[in-house]
Structure 1
Amino acid sequence: MSLVEEAKARASQAGEVVGLATRVSPISHGIDHKEIRAEVPFEVYLRKRFLVGSYIGIALPVSKTLVLGRITGVERADIMAISRIPALSPVEDTSGFTTPLTLIIQLLSEEVEGEVVPVSSPVDPQSPVFIPNREFISKMLGLPDQGIEIGKLTEGYRVLDVPVSLSLETLRHHVLVVGTTGAGKTNFLKVMITRSDVPLMVYDIQGDYVGLMAREGGTVLVPVPRSSGDKVTDFVQEFLRRSNLSNFRIVEQRERRFRLSDGERTFNLELMGFRLEDTYQLIPETSPFFSGQGAHFFRIATDNCLTDIDSWIEECGDVLDHYNLHKSTVDNILRSVTLLRESGILDVEMGGNRLSEPDYDQLLREKSVVDLRWVLEKGVSSATTAAFIIANRIFRVIDSAYKESGRETPFLLIFDEAHEYFPQSRKGDEEKEALERLINRIMRLGRVRGIGTILATHRPTDLNDLILTLSNTKVAMRADEDALERIGMGDYTETLQASPPGYGVLRTFSLKVQDVIFRADKYVGK
């Protein structure tokens, strides 16, 4: 058996042979040049569809390895063009185009002794070219067979029956999803939320995920601001109305935690609040108001004068006099306390009782959404401060378990509209420094402890640089050129702008190739 026949036999085990690497021109490829040419007989071209973007396999006769490539271009030539015979006038002759189809193939990966590596072996002339089966494609791309399935691989306009998933290891290295309004980001996140076997928490400032969590049987946390009324049941009814969940009824109540049901499905609703006496150590790390000095002495003063936010200036202001602070530091503390009081998220009373925080240990075992719509009405800083207090609480519980036993706690934090939580700031700005300390804690330290972060935005140009640095997986959906350039995927601008909702490019360290194009599965609610 010849070398080419042996290569065909190997190719047949991974797909269907359809052609050969070109014989009519030299084949060269290298570090900066990864394309070769192949020919497909006309009779095969009639039976098969070869699309730009399709995956194609190559069996190398001499090195006896298999290569996966992707079609980046196609060429068709009439027999007169091939023969270089000038046409004196246009004459129809259908026999003239019964010529081979030329494929321009980008080399992606090579299997060498059972391991998938970058292509380094010479591609021989007459190397058999084959349409690969889905198992070969998955293996050569490095697609995981476990994790959260986000969609299916595509080639051209075709969706292949090849699942694309994000493994737990990929998720804990953080994921950034970028796409304009209507590109499919919300659908993408909903698919991930419903398919995740890992407990998670979604931070929701628009109410996009509240109904999903209710129908999935999870927990909805509502940080309640001041001026929300005193009657608990009235607030619950308003929540159900605004969330299009009016068919649910209260079936059980324990303090401010409710079990609601529509007869078939049930979910938990918990009304929560933050008490200054419990959160004053955290607040300077999570609010944008305090300077470094101000934060330090705010904690010291509150240590010596525990009270509520309304009485702090009156009862604790005098404590500051003992420290001979600079006037600017005192002014920063007093201004910050005033802004915190006006934020409306501290020491909130409802039904004659002061609201408190939930059981975070319990939340680490389930799926939940933090409904920030009510605190958002007090301002973006109120919503983000509430979100950061909760995220810090989650981190501290997980961190405590890690320090005590070295045990990791798999958990996902999901931020839609991430630019609202983690905005770009001026260099040297104290607010930026505080924000980046928080990002480092949650994303860099959190990763080691099992925390993965998924962030979605349509405005990556407004997103803090550190988020882009720490997000080792990026998903690009339809977006403008500036947004795609910001995440290093500007080359896909034309492709994605012409794509329907749900199409995306996945770039992650865990693949054997740089990028794959996929179509997200559609979320189907219960």
Structure 2
Amino acid sequence: MINEITYLGKVINVNSSSIEVEISRDIPSATPIINGRLYKLGQIGTFVKIPVGGLTLFGIVSSVSNTPSLIEVNKYEPDYGSRFLQVQLIGEQLGGDVFKKGVGTYPTINDEVHIVTEDDLRIIYGDHSAGTIEIGKHSSSENLPVYLDLHNFILRHSAILGSTGSGKSNTTAHILKRILNDYPGSRVVLVDTHGEYSSAFGTEAKVFKINDDQSPLYIPFWAMSFDELSFFLVGRQAGSEKPEDKKLREAVVKLKKDNASRLKAGNVNVDFVTADSPIPFDIRKMWYDFNREINATYSEATADKQTKDKEELEAEGDPQKLIPARFKPYSMGAVAPFKSKEQTMYAYEMKILSRLKDTRFDFMFNPGDFYDTTSKHDIDQLLRDWIDHAQRLTILDLNEVPFELIDITVGLITRLIFDSMYWGRHEDYTGRNRAILMVFEEAHSYLPKNESSSHIYGYARRSVEKIYKEGRKFGVGAMVVTQRPSEISETILAQVGTFVALRLTNSSDKNNVQSASPNNMNSLMELLPSLRIGEAIIVGEAINIPSRVRIELVEPRPSSNDPKLVEGWRKKFTVKAEHYKNIVKAWREQKHLKKG
């Protein structure tokens, strides 16, 4: 076999995970042509093979030098160029069997080492068989597609990582398009915090957006757990239970129990209703009742006699218009009308009112056809809108969600979908029998290691961590997309089965990926800062071996590309006074100006 054109050299050193190869001096060219294909010898990240009887071992070149690393230098003639290769062993093939990761038999000194051709690479990467998607082309061969095992990629979870401008959004869009094109029963929910992806998918996706005329995004307040709702309404911290917290809980439970027999998705036994049950209730009525008991005046002075029939009422008010009831002013002396003795909810009532009046929160407090039991739909229709429709890709555009609500919003979306999959896990049309992929864009902004921000309290992090820890059992897979993996929850990263790592220039981010990859792949991870745009190193359960892959450009692209600075600065602009008035108005109303 030494006479074969693929012959590269011989093994001169072996250890538990790598070998050292001396390149033969008789090789006629550093760029041999094999079967019409040009190969470059000694390139970091390229493959070699070592025939050992009926077994073929495969390895990746990790370093190149003109001196051996473990042999005395003076035994070799100098100046032969790149004469020695360090090779990390990655797997083996026995006879005509499929390639398998891991090494059971090691080469010995003087075993032959050969160049890996495209035909050999196809043995490693396999064909486009059932249950795979094409992620891109191998960087060492434009003709060699690289496939991912879809089951492991989805249900063992994944992460797409890369610095700004490295191609994360394009990679995400490419993967989702492959899934949608190849698998007609697929379901994907994309949490898009910057509104980038609707331009890439067009009619292939159903896009929900705040204030949208066709598909407005609603996330009903009553679907929150009590901890989420009370934190958002009045700033209550989880675990605390002051007298006003207890009163708030009791009011929520009572209103939910009152509606338990009027639900469009089926009535519920009131004995099972808690403050966390996702049951509609009239939150304006709750505020109105709190306001009334605080501000009412009575004909009696003692608390036990201050009942509704003793009120000094002048006008009822209107809960839906947030108009409080009006009472006769209380007197300053010991004569009627008397001031209410019930002032427990004074601070909470004002906080609740301020939330209800804030138009930025209308997508929660005025959720269209999902407000309460008198509305057109129940939460079953909301779930169907999100996860069961013809397009199969749902984009939840959170671009106009107030920053202080991103944490709770993402947490609530995630929990609603997870709970629907959990409780329907044995049904034919959902759960374990029809899995779903949830994609979290810009994940570092709401899934941090710790809650250092004043608006991040861990609601999203806890919900997404639950998917990464338990989602596989109920058919829920997850993918995080981020430019700062070092800032992401360690629990999430620890559960990621497959990393798609594009260019990472920050050392701490690179170290995070490197620590998650096999120990013998560190040399490949060192390439992360030098990757080209749209090029990724993929490592994990969905791919046979860690690989450097080129990912094709998606058209139309997500709207995450840089502004056209030079083109814009070459123009002359005429700016009128009303232009900036429009900006300030949009700023104050928290609504983006529409293009044109």
Q: Does the pair score TM above 0.5?
A: yes
Equivalent residue of 1:504, what SS?
A: strand
Write the distance in 1 (CA, Å) between the matches of 2:152 and 2:412: 26
- Is the contact made by 2:534 and 2:550 (CA closer than 8 Å) also made in structure 1? yes
Q: Once the two structures are superposed, what CA deviation does each residue of 1:144-173 show, in whole Å capped at 9, x if it has no partner?
A: 844232212224xx5451323242222211
Once the two structures are TM-superposed, the CA of residue 70 in structure 1 deviates from its matched residue by: 1.8
In the alignment, the residues of structure 1 paired with residue 230 and residue 493 of structure 2 have an alpha-carbon distance, to the nearest angstrom, of: 21
The one-letter code matched in structure 1 to 2:255 is: C
Question: Separation in 2 of the partners of 1:392 and 1:453?
Answer: 13
Q: 1:19 aligns with which of 8, 12, 24?
A: 8
Q: Deviations over 1:96-134 (max 9, x none)?
A: 97x995544332212246462422424244534333344
Q: CA deviation at 1:183?
A: 0.5
Give 1:206 deviation, angstroms: 1.3
One-letter amino acid matched to 2:160: V
Cα distance change on mapping 1:150 and 1:336 into 2, 3 Å: farther
Tell me the residue number matched to 2:444: 419
Q: Tell me the CA shift for residue 385 of structure 1.
A: 2.7
Assess, with a 3 A threshold, how the Cα gap between structure 1 residues 274 and 312 changes in structure 2: closer, same or farther.
farther
For structure 2, which runs of at least 5 residues remain unmatched after alignment? 34-39, 68-72, 257-280, 295-302, 305-342, 516-521, 558-596
Q: Residue 66 in 1 paired to residue 43 in 2? A: no
Other-structure match for 1:348: 366
Of 375, 394, 405, which aligns to 1:368? Answer: 394
State the shift of 1:39 in Å: 2.4
Deviation at 1:29, TM superposition (A): 2.2
Equivalent position to 1:185, from 148, 168, 171 = 168
Distance 1:130 1:396, change over 3 A: same
Match of 1:56 in 2: 48
Residue aligning to 2:589:
none
Q: CA offsets, 1:206-244, max 9 Å, x none? A: 11101223242x2111234xxxxxxxxxx54xxxxxxxx
Q: Which position in structure 2 is the counterpart of 1:222?
A: 209
- Compute the displacement of 1:136 (Å): 3.3
Is 1:397 matched with 2:417?
no
Change (3 A) 1:371 1:117: closer
**Other structure's SS at 2:464 match:** helix
Tell whether the 8 Å contact from 1:209 to 1:369 is kept in structure 2 after alignment. Answer: yes
Partner of 2:289: 315
Structure 1 range deviating more: 340-349 or 116-125: 340-349
Q: Which whole-Å CA distance do the structure 2 matches of 1:274 and 1:426 have between them?
A: 23
Partner deviation per Cα, 1:437-460 (whole Å, 9 max, x = no partner): 423433323221111111111122
Moved more, 503-512 or 433-442: 433-442
Over the aligned positions, Cα root-mean-square deviation in angstroms equals 4.3
The size of the alignment, in residue pairs, is: 442
Correspondence for 1:486: 512
Identity %, equivalent residues: 16
Among 107, 123, 128, the residue aligned to 1:123: 107
CA distance in 1, matches of 2:23, 2:105: 17
Correspondence for 1:248: none
Sort the Cα spacing of 1:53 and 1:276 in 2 relative to 1 into closer, same or farther, 3 A: closer
| Letter of the structure 2 residue corresponding to residue 43 of structure 1 | P
Assess if the C-alpha contact under 8 Å between 2:449 and 2:490 holds in 1. Answer: yes
How big is the shift at 1:333? 9.7
What is the distance in 2 between the residues matched to 1:349 and 1:430?
Answer: 23
Give yes or no for the alignment of 1:303 onto 2:282. no
Structure 1 residue identity aligned to 2:169: T
> Comparing 184-193 with 48-57, which one deviates more in the overlay?
48-57
Q: Where does residue 193 of structure 2 map in the other structure?
A: 205
Q: For residue 216 of structure 2, what is the aligned residue in structure 1?
A: 271
Q: Which amino acid counterpart does residue 525 of structure 1 have in structure 2? A: P
* AA in 2 matched with 1:473: T
Counterpart of 1:257 in structure 2 is none
Which one-letter code corresponds to 2:470 in the other structure?
L
Unaligned runs of 5+ in 1: 87-95, 225-234, 237-268
Confirm or deny: 8 A CA contact 1:401 1:408 kept in the other structure: no
Matched, 1:508 2:568: no
Where 1:391 maps in the other structure, the secondary structure is: helix
Give the Cα separation in 2 of the matches to 1:312 and 1:498: 59
Confirm or deny that 1:467 pairs with 2:492.
yes
Partner of 1:524: 555
- Amino acid in the other structure paired with 1:179: G
- The answer to whether the 8 A contact 1:41-1:100 is kept is no
Q: Give matches, 1:34-113, under 5 Å.
A: 34-39=19-24, 41-45=26-30, 47-48=32-33, 49-50=40-41, 51-61=43-53, 64-75=54-65, 102-112=84-94
After TM superposition, give the deviation of residue 190 of structure 1 in Å: 0.6
Q: Partners of 1:36 and 1:337 in 2: how far apart?
A: 75
Q: Which moved more, 1:301-310 or 1:145-154?
A: 301-310
Give the CA deviation at 1:204: 1.0
Distance (Å, rounded) in 2 between the aligned partners of 1:285 and 1:493: 45
Q: Within 2, Cα distance between the matches of 1:287 and 1:492? A: 46
CA contact (8 A) 1:286 1:385 kept: no
- Residue type at the aligned position of 2:556: G
Note closer, same or farther for the CA distance 1:334–1:36 as it changes in structure 2 (3 Å cut): farther
Which deviations, in whole Å up to 9, do the C-alpha atoms of 1:417-468 show, x marking residues without a partner? 00122123259x9975655542343332322111111111112232222221
Q: For 1:466, what is the secondary structure of its paired residue?
A: helix
Q: Distance in 2 between matches of 1:270 and 1:39?
A: 66
Q: 2: CA distance between counterparts of 1:34 and 1:430? A: 52
Distance change (3 Å), C-alpha of 1:286 and 1:467: farther
Partner of 1:154: 139
Shift of 1:58: 1.4
Once the two structures are TM-superposed, the CA of residue 510 in structure 1 deviates from its matched residue by 4.2
Contact (CA 8 Å) 2:446, 2:460: kept in 1 or not?
Answer: no
Select the structure that is richer in strand.
1
Q: How far, CA to CA, are the matches of 1:85 and 1:133 in structure 2?
A: 30
Counterpart-to-counterpart distance in 1, 2:156 and 2:288: 46
**Please, what TM-score do these two structures have when normalized by structure 1?**
0.70
